Amino acid sequence: MNALSPWLFNVNAALNQKNLPLVYRRDAAGYSFSIFNLEDSLWLVAGWPKGSRIAFRLAYSPNDQLVVKKIQEQQGKIIFKAGSLIGEYEVTVQLPEEDITVLHYTSSLKPSAPLLFPYWPRDIAVLGAAGSDLLAEGKVVVSQVGTRSGQLYFNLTRPKAGSVLYQQNLTALADYNQQTETSAGDTVGGEWPEIGFALPPTLKNKPLEAGQTYVLSDAFVAFSEQVPEDQPAMVRQYLDLLAGVYLQVPKPDTHYQHWPDILQKGLADLTDNPGCWSQVDGHHYFNAYVCDYVTPPEIMVQLAVLLPLLDYVEWNNSKLEVMKKVKNGLSTFYNKKIGTIMRWHPKMADSLEGGEEQKQPLVMDAWYLHHPLLNLSRLALKGDEMAEKLFLDSLEFSIKVAHHFDYNWPVFYKIDTLEVVKAEAKPGKGGENDVPGLYAHVMLQAWELTSNKRYLAEAEKAALKLQDLGFDLFYQANNTAFSAGALLRLHKITKKELYKELSYLCLANVFKNVKLWDCNYGYGKNFPSFFALFPLSDAPYTAVYEEQEVFCAFHDYLRHAEGEDILPSLRLLLAEYIRFLIERAVYYYPTMLPKEMLSEQVKTGEVDSNLWIALEDMHDGWEKCGEVGQEVYGAGNAFGILPRHYMQVEEAGFMIYTDYPTYGFSPKKHKPAAFRLAGDGRLNCRLMLVRSGKGKLPGFRVTVKGQKQTLKGKKTKQGHLEYQVRGNAEIHIDWKK
């Protein structure tokens, strides 16, 4: 047991006294819930069926005596009104139900005078068994990092009571953060046993105003009587509890973004703006960032844009001259002496300034070798002979590296000698822990291309290295997501449950690194951020490139999962991330943002606020965005979204749009159009019938399989028809010519 602060020491002693002043008590969903008024705090104590307890602080007024003035029950909620020296509290508690074992409580304060809070205690006390003054022992598995979800997932191990997923709805704290100029980042966490949420201290002499009401806490708590016995059980429990809480957390409305127009603007700037291009030996290459002429061309950058462009031309049955221009320069990255593609253009590598570890001619960032190989394999599987040769000619070197490092890759190594330049991302945390999954993906592509079982064996050897990494598996978001898809494919090929469980582990790592709240303070008011994803486990901002690749990887995972028995909680979370990304992604373009929130200092290249090229970085509401640069290799954003969410019905002059992924639509079939939605039937998604020309839409009959009534659509200002439909539904659309 770690040392205790005086606050927790005294709270534990107080809550273990006999004859506590009980304010309210009720049993719900097999748990007991008692509310006590202990001088300066109002506590809710939840009791497990076996007797263990955990306390949540509902209201706090330091060195005071709270007075509960009124208790009322309405619409399944219990409302407590309490007076204190610092102001009037209103606490609303919603107890769990049999089918929803989630506790929800909200605490609001109307200050009696301008208030500053230089310190606020955490709001959870793990009390242990009834009648014992010993605090429970346990383990925190997941907690908030930076501005990620305000989340704690922990197990109570002695007495062996169960598990808890606690989530603070940080969206609700926006008025507090705005008024005090504080961030909601790093507010949920702590070291066992001092855990929970603590209000950010008001250090800028920006007090809460007297007479105004502020939400000080909005917590959702999911309970389980199970303590996971192994990693697969832990991962499943985390995902199930997260989905259970997600269903209860308020979610912002989404808005339709017309991606066909957005794509055309981005395509014009990508192809025509000279800041996106460099030229070497007569070949044209994408810059990594707009006007970045210092950094040599990188093969990852070329392929990261080329593959989404390919998605688009296949969907649109068209050709883009820019693709040919980029492909003509790919072979220059191959090094015959070493036998592999290189990260940097060989003729420009010596111009690297070496200011960062990886910006040296022969230093390889571990994932940078495999990501381009993955994209080359995708081109090869579509029949591209040049890509196939580059891919196959580089495979032996890739396998050599894997064997040299025993499938445990460092962060940076020398590509000619394999000397390690940087072994670990953080001391004791290993190197790029998700690269074994990315390598397995590459090997599966090689096996699919060649039918050589050696590559399948390599994929399995690498996949096994992901075992027992727990929530330290995540190094980079897109590679962890690609790993999940590779492992699901391995499960389908080998029928081994282990690989499916490891795919869940990868996805749990991804969902640990999202932001399930909307930053509605400061500059955050100008763009939606709910369900945003962070590129690295400690990154202070979200990034367009990783988000759009995770978006595509989630689509692929759901496609491979069709007909498979996977966790319902995963189907829900994957579809919801996709739904929110489709709205949020447009705000990576600086054209959508006020100029005053764009950083004046740019690390790489320049930021042109009139250019439809996405910013790399979106920050907390008190920080300006775009300080890293305007990311050319994130240009795949629109080209990934459009082909996956717009189904063309060319003969009738319209497209079918959904913000959930779909299965089964065939553009070759005549009416009626039919397809099935991904996601969960407890949540809604948007269905749109979108004009693809200047003519009027035809008359429609939209039905859901199993329902008799025809759905009624709402006409938008742009002349489209909009519907709200349940996830996991089969949709039929008929129209009059």
| Beta bridge partners of residue 52, listed in sequence order | 129
Q: In angstroms, rounded to a whole number, what is the distance separating the alpha carbons of residues 436 and 62?
A: 51
Q: What is the pTM of this model?
A: 0.97
For residue 458, report the phi and psi dihedrals to the nearest 5 degrees: -60, -40
Q: In angstroms, rounded to a whole number, what is the distance separating the alpha carbons of residues 277 and 605?
A: 12
CA dist 373 → 326, 334, 368 (Å)? 16, 12, 9
- Please report the sign of the dihedral spanned by the C-alpha atoms of residue 61, residue 66, residue 70, residue 71: positive
Question: According to CATH, what is the number of the domain 329-512?
Answer: 1.50.10.10
**Residue 666's pLDDT is what?**
84
Q: In angstroms, rounded to a whole number, what is the distance separating the alpha carbons of residues 725 and 658?
A: 10
Based on its alpha-carbon atoms, the radius of gyration of the chain, rounded to whole angstroms, reads 27
Whether 303 contacts 288, CB under 8 Å? no
Closest CA to 544 of 531, 534, 554, 559: 534
SS (HEC) of 604-634: CCCCCCCCCCCECEECCCCCCECCCCEEHHH
Q: Which residues of the chain does CATH 2.70.98 include?
A: 6-248
Beta strands in 225-275 (DSSP E): none
**Residue 354's pLDDT is what?**
66
Look up residue 227 and give its DSSP letter: -
* Residue ranges in 47-205 assigned as alpha helix (H): 174-180
Between helix 636-645 and helix 259-272 the angle, nearest 10°, is 150
Q: In angstroms, rounded to a whole number, what is the distance separating the alpha carbons of residues 492 and 404?
A: 29
Closest CA to 550 of 602, 599, 472, 485: 485
Q: In angstroms, rounded to a whole number, what is the distance separating the alpha carbons of residues 114 and 220?
A: 29
Residue type, 176: Y
Contacts of 354 (CB under 8 A, 6+ apart): 360
Whether 176 contacts 106, CB under 8 Å? no
**Chain centre distance of CA 56:** 28
**Residue 1's pLDDT is what?**
61
Residues in the chain with pLDDT < 50? none
Whether 658 contacts 685, CB under 8 Å? yes
Whether 58 contacts 46, CB under 8 Å? no
Number of residues written out for the chain: 737
For residue 658, report the phi and psi dihedrals to the nearest 5 degrees: -135, 150
Q: Which residues of the chain does CATH 1.50.10.10 include?
A: 329-512
Q: In angstroms, rounded to a whole number, what is the distance separating the alpha carbons of residues 694 and 711?
A: 25
DSSP SS3 for 120: coil
Q: In angstroms, rounded to a whole number, what is the distance separating the alpha carbons of residues 108 and 106?
A: 7
| 6-248 CATH fold | Beta-galactosidase; Chain A, domain 5 (2.70.98)
- Residue appearing with tokens 């501005």: 147
Cis peptide before 159 (omega within 30 of 0): yes
DSSP SS3 for 210: coil
Closest CA to 147 of 521, 470, 490, 468: 521
Closest CA to 174 of 202, 215, 138, 146: 215
331: how many CB neighbours lie within 10 A of its CB?
Answer: 13
Closest CA to 400 of 334, 340, 460: 340
Q: In angstroms, rounded to a whole number, what is the distance separating the alpha carbons of residues 197 and 149?
A: 12
Q: Would you state the structure tokens that stand for residue 533, as one six-digit string?
A: 């994803």
For residue 615, report the phi and psi dihedrals to the nearest 5 degrees: -70, 150
Helices (H) and strands (E) in the chain, counts: 15, 35
Whether 48 contacts 161, CB under 8 Å? yes
Whether 153 contacts 141, CB under 8 Å? yes
- Residue appearing with tokens 């460092």: 410
- The DSSP string of 576-606 is HHHHHHHHHGGGGSGGGS-GGGB-SS-SSS-
Residue type, 632: V
Spatial strand order in the sheet of 188-191: 22-28, 31-38, 41-47, 52-60, 124-129, 194-197, 188-191
Q: In angstroms, rounded to a whole number, what is the distance separating the alpha carbons of residues 129 and 136?
A: 7
| Beta bridge partners of residue 93, listed in sequence order | 78, 105
Whether 304 contacts 644, CB under 8 Å? no
Q: In angstroms, rounded to a whole number, what is the distance separating the alpha carbons of residues 329 and 386?
A: 11
